[in-house]
A and B are shown apart, each in its own frame.
Chain A
Amino acid sequence: MTHPADDAFLSLTGISKRYGGVHALNNVDFHCGRGKVHAVLGENGAGKSTLIKIISGVVRPDQGTMMLDGQMVNFQSPSAANAAGIVCIFQELSLMPDLTVSDNISIASPPRKFGLIDAKAQRMRAEELLASIGCEDVNPLMRVRDLPLSRRQMVEIAKALGKSPKILILDEATSALTSSDVEKVYAMLARLKAEGVAILYISHRMHEIEALADNASVFRNGRHIETFAKGTRNNDEIVQLMIGREISAHFPPKPALKRPKPLLEIENLSWENRLDHVSLSVGRGEIVGLGGLDGQGQKELLLSLFGVLKRVEGDVKLDGVKQNLTSPRVAKSAGGGIALVPEDRKTEGLMLPMSIAENLVLASLDELSAGSLVDETKVSAAVADAIERLKIKIGSPEDAVSTLSGGNQQKVVIAKWLMTKPDVILLNDPTRGIDVGTKQEIYRLLRELADEGAAILFYSTDYDELIGSCDRVAIMYDGRIISELEGDAINEKYIVSASLNIAGQKSNGGAHVGH
């Protein structure tokens, strides 16, 4: 420790990383020093996770250099980064659910006696590490599978501490914690800071960043925008730094503001600790957007409306009639029908090796069958219709759906559900990873469907999309809808500040704050 607080303990220069045609990081410079907490801020897709993946050896940059303590480093794997003292607590937990807590904490280099794992020493080590973050209530012999999510997160933190990090990266590591645990984690971070550990802190919670960070860096569209010291920027300025990009897609015009009679009514929906008394309604002809940062319960809300989640509390009504949605099969025929365009088209939307035609009719086989046999003439007519309507570019309907481009695959998923003529259409980030042209077709299609009388609930991680195509936008935070925006209030500034749960939009009459 020659320079206890030098700013260049970890230093990245000119780092770029592309995924296909997308620049996840573009010529980024980034520095952080010992004994400092450095916050990393940015919207969804700003490049934060790619940055920490590069630092922690999960992915390798295409260009650029990384220096650690004055030495050039090039990590080939997470374990190489660990060996150099860089430890990351990932959002997706890195715990093995069938192993015990103490096994997990010492998984990489357990204490050994005669070459074999010393179970007693390992257990004591686990107890010490858990105690150091005030988590004595977890028995190290418990299997991780049997722990609630908040405890798992604490075990993950204990595991990271056990590697005696020089640089500790926390990626949304507090998202699942209870508030008393968060206090303990803060205390732990303060101790590490005093010991000279460099801490990278990625969080969507502005108050946490205010409380903890010495410096903050804002990222946007894969670029490093600015680094500033604590207290030199206010929330408004930070939001401004995070926004500020040109609108790249064109949207069909929205109809004049009117609030139709609700078709889909959600009342006090709660599930596990992911949904917290969510109430929302969507009328015929309306496109309602779900916004907010990733992982605030939007996906769970859509899944619960489609009958995927069990033991959901609260009511869902269609046209005033209470529904008991127990499975996608039930949801499909509930009321006038519910459809969900799922998050991951490759695993939940399509049977990749099956043909385009087979995929298209999969959800409406009941209507296309006579008795128990599929009516092939009806099928080919319906398939031709769908391909025509969505302008899906294909060779032959008999080709495997895996041969299509991403955008056309997504059209197949959407067309498959339109064939069931649903009243309520739920979409889970339907434009992720597809080209601008197809995106615009999807926006136009959604508006057409709404005009034909469908009620559309549309989750998107892209704020432009919410602004351009939605009649109303509900922003979720921590399992709740914290704000509903309408009309002119649907703009980037309000969406971003609501997503970060900064109460700055109250002054405007167009927005009203729920809860």
Chain B
Amino acid sequence: MSATKSSDLGLRLRQNMGFAIAVVLFAVVYFLYQLSHPKGFSSQVFVQNSNEVFSLAMLAMAQTVPVLMGGLDLSVGAVMTLVDCLASHVLEGSGWSIFGGIVLCLLTGAAAGLVNGCVVVFGRIQPIIATLATGAIYMGLALFLRPIPGGKINEDINWAMTNSLADFAETVGIFDDGKAPWFQTIAGFPTSLVFLIVVASVIWIPFRRSVTGRTVYAIGSAEGAAFMSGLNIERGKLAAFTLAGIFAGIGGIFMAIQTSSGNADIPMAGAYTLSSIASVVIGGTSLLGGTGGAIGSIFGTLILKVISFNFRIFDIAPLLQPLFEGLVLLGAVSLGALSILRVKNQLELFR
């Protein structure tokens, strides 16, 4: 039995090479960063890094789902911005009003995604152009909600979400206000990182193991075969876009909490969308669909972000940053393209 087990492991490793490379690359570069940082390996640095990563990581997860299905979602940045602007209106109060506000924000994200899905499925329009159009609409709605940057977020939630677990426990009033002895080992952990892990394990992992989730993979792999196998293609596509909207919405909520305001910033939304695509590719998901996953995309985001962290401490001209990000992206894409060398019928390259 042990023989098959080890071969299973080898098989899994070979199949997830892109993901494995992303993890190792991130671990090495991040370790070097922490070593060179004057306050390296402190809770303060972890918290700061984690807060910077969170929204883009959410957007990368959002982008992953349509990409797995063989499409692109150009509206994820706009959905995030829309929810950000909405949150700056509805997360001001306290108690149940905040809870209601968060639910409203999540529903808005989901609705935006569902609309994308409907346009793609029932309008039979390619995802890339459908979401280009809906993205512009969501941006317009965001500008309507926040013509100029502003708004306010409950201060407690801002403090609780953007600091360490100790601060979270103290604000919420659990674990003896965060002073319970057992709690001290993890008290320095960034709340936003824990939250990221929770979202990934509560939403993504069950989705991946659901029939609908596997339908999404099947559509990206061979839509005709998926249809012939009797899968519900339409439901898979609707679910993929809706889930993307939910992830983008969570990213928007966090952005509002982090900045304590709403801002319908068009260039920022565009930049976030493009970075989400880069994260997905670096994380080992094929743009053709069918292989990869959202966890890989989180590591893709981490790699993109750790580049900018390093620029800050190594005193490299910040103008070089886009160049480096581009090289990393190109490297990741090239790794994925290696399989082309094995193609024996050149016509298959064009199919």
Binding site for B on A (CB under 8 A): 58, 77-79, 82, 90, 93-99, 103, 107-108, 110, 112, 115-117, 119, 139, 141-143, 271-272, 303, 307-311, 327, 348
A303 and B345 form a contact (CB under 8 A): yes
Task: Report the bound CA distance from A227 to B317 in whole Å.
Answer: 82
- Taking A96-B217, A107-B229, A116-B206 as known contacts, 17 extra A-B pairs with beta carbons closer than 8 A to each other, sorted by chain A number, are A79-B230, A94-B225, A95-B222, A98-B217, A98-B221, A103-B217, A107-B231, A112-B211, A117-B210, A117-B211, A139-B7, A141-B8, A271-B344, A308-B346, A310-B343, A311-B344, A348-B347
12 A–B contacts, CB within 8 A, in A order: A95-B222, A98-B217, A98-B222, A99-B290, A103-B214, A110-B214, A119-B209, A272-B344, A307-B346, A308-B347, A310-B344, A311-B344
Q: How far does the Cβ of A497 sit from chain B's closest Cβ, in whole Å?
A: 31
- The answer to whether B222 and A97 have CB atoms under 8 Å apart is yes
Which residues of the other chain, A, contact B109 by a CB distance below 8 angstroms? none
List, in ascending order, chain A residues with CB within 8 A of B221's CB.
96-99
Q: Within 8 Å CB of B217, what residues of A?
A: 96, 98-99, 103
Q: CB < 8 Å: which of B11, B222, B227, B343 contacts A142?
A: B11
Contacting residue for A108 out of B4, B206, B230, CB 8 A? B230
Q: Measured between C-beta atoms, what is the minimum distance from B159 to chain A in Å?
A: 36
Q: Does B36 contact A (CB under 8 A)?
A: no
Whole-angstrom distance between the alpha carbons of A363 and B343 in the complex? 25
A116 pairs with B345, CB closer than 8 A:
no
Q: Which residues of A contact B343 (CB under 8 A)?
A: 310
For B1-28 the 0/1 string (1 means CB < 8 A from A) is 0001001100110010000000000000
* Residues in B whose Cβ lies below 8 Å from that of A94: 225, 228-229
Please name all residues of chain B whose beta carbon is closer than 8 Å to the beta carbon of A107 when the two chains form the complex: 214, 218, 226, 229, 231
**A309–B286 alpha-carbon span in the complex (Å):** 25
Which residues of B from 177 to 222 have beta carbons under 8 Å from A? 206, 209-211, 214, 217-218, 220-222
CB contact list, B225-255 vs A, under 8 A:
225-231
Q: Is B258 close to A, CB under 8 A? A: no
Among B12, B210, B228, the residue within 8 A (CB) of A116 is B210
- Contacting residues, chain A, for B218 (C-beta < 8 A): 96, 99, 107
Distance, CA A402 to CA B230, complexed state (A): 33
Given A98-B291, A308-B345, A311-B344, A115-B210 contact (CB < 8 Å): yes
Q: How far is the CA of A297 from the CA of B329 in the complex (A)?
A: 41
- A98 near B290 with CB under 8 A, answer yes
Report B12 CB to chain A, min CB distance, Å: 7
B206 contacts which chain A residues (CB < 8 A)?
116
Complex Cα gap A340–B230 (Å): 38
| B206 → A minimal CB distance (Å) | 6
Least CB separation from B9: chain A residue:
A141
Q: Which chain B residues border A97 with CB–CB below 8 Å?
A: 221-222, 290
Q: How far is the CA of A116 from the CA of B204 in the complex (A)?
A: 12
Minimum CB–CB distance from A104 to chain B (whole Å) comes to: 8
Q: How far is the CA of A356 from the CA of B272 in the complex (A)?
A: 44
Taking a contact as CB atoms under 8 Å apart, the answer to whether B231 and A108 are in contact is yes
Using A96-B221, A139-B7 as known contacts, say yes or no to A310 and B346 having CB atoms under 8 A apart: yes
Partner of B229 from A108, A115, A139 at Cβ < 8 Å: A108
Chain A contacts for B228, CB-based, 8 A:
58, 78, 90, 94
CA–CA, A78 to B12, complex, Å?
A: 32
Known A-B contacts A93-B225, A95-B225, A107-B218; A139 and B8 likewise in contact (beta carbons under 8 Å): yes
Cross-chain contact A143 with B15 (CB below 8 angstroms): yes
| A142 to B286 CA separation, bound complex (whole angstroms) | 18
Q: Which residues of B contact A90 (CB under 8 A)?
A: 228
Q: What chain B residues lie within 8 Å of A272 (beta carbons)?
A: 344
Per-residue contact bits, chain B 55-70, to A (CB 8 Å; 1 contact, 0 not):
0000000000000000
**Closest partner residue, chain A, to B14 (CB atom):** A146
CA gap between A103 and B221 in the complex, in Å? 12
**In the complex the two chains form, is B345's CB within 8 Å of A96's CB?**
no
Q: In this complex, which of A82, A96, A141, A309 has the most chain B Cβ atoms within 10 angstroms of its Cβ? A: A96
Chain B residues near A103 (CB, 8 Å)?
214, 217
Q: How far is the CB of A138 from chain B (nearest CB, A)?
A: 11
**What CA separation (Å) do A97 and B225 show in the bound complex?**
9
The 7 A-B pairs of least Cβ separation, nearest first, read A79-B230, A98-B290, A98-B221, A96-B221, A116-B209, A94-B228, A94-B225
Q: Which of A78, A94, A272, A309 has the most CB of B within 10 A?
A: A94
Q: Cβ of A303: which chain B residues have Cβ within 8 Å of it?
A: 345, 347
In the complex, the chain B residue whose C-beta lies closest to that of A144 is B221
Q: For residue A110, which residues in chain B have a CB less than 8 angstroms away from its CB?
A: 211, 214
Q: Which residue of A lies closest to B230 (CB)?
A: A79
**Min C-beta distance of B337 to chain A, whole Å:** 15
Known: A82-B230, A90-B228, A96-B290. A117 touches B209 (CB 8 A): yes
Docked complex Cα distance between A98 and B344 (Å) = 19
**Which residue in chain B gives the minimum CB-CB distance to A327?**
B346
CB distance from A342 to the nearest CB of B (A): 9
> Known contacts A103-B214, A108-B230, A115-B210: does B345 contact A310 (CB below 8 Å)?
yes
Closest Cβ–Cβ distance, residue B3 to chain A (whole Å): 11
Q: State whether B346 touches A309 (Cβ < 8 A).
A: yes
Inter-chain CA distance A153–B337, complex, in Å, is 27
Counting chain A CB atoms within 10 Å of each CB, the highest count among B11, B229, B286, B291 belongs to B229
* A135 vs chain B, min Cβ distance (A): 15
Q: Contacts of A141 on B, CB cut-off 8 Å?
A: 8, 11-12, 15
Q: List A contacts of B222 (CB < 8 A).
A: 95-98
For B345, give the chain A residue with the smallest CB separation: A309
- Closest chain A residue to B209, Cβ basis: A116
Q: Closest B residue to A108 by CB, please name it.
A: B230
Rounded to whole angstroms, the CA-CA distance of A303 and B343 in the bound complex is 14
In the complex, chain A residues whose CB is within 8 Å of the CB of B210: 115-117
- Decide: A99 near B8, CB < 8 A? Known: A116-B206, A303-B345, A308-B346: no
Residues of B within 8 A of A143 (CB): 15
Contact A77 B230 (CB under 8 A): yes
Cα A142 to Cα B15 in complex, Å, equals: 8
Q: How far is the CA of A310 from the CA of B8 in the complex (A)?
A: 32
Minimal beta-carbon separation of B213 from chain A (angstroms): 8
| Distance between Cα atoms of A82 and B230 in the complex (Å) | 8
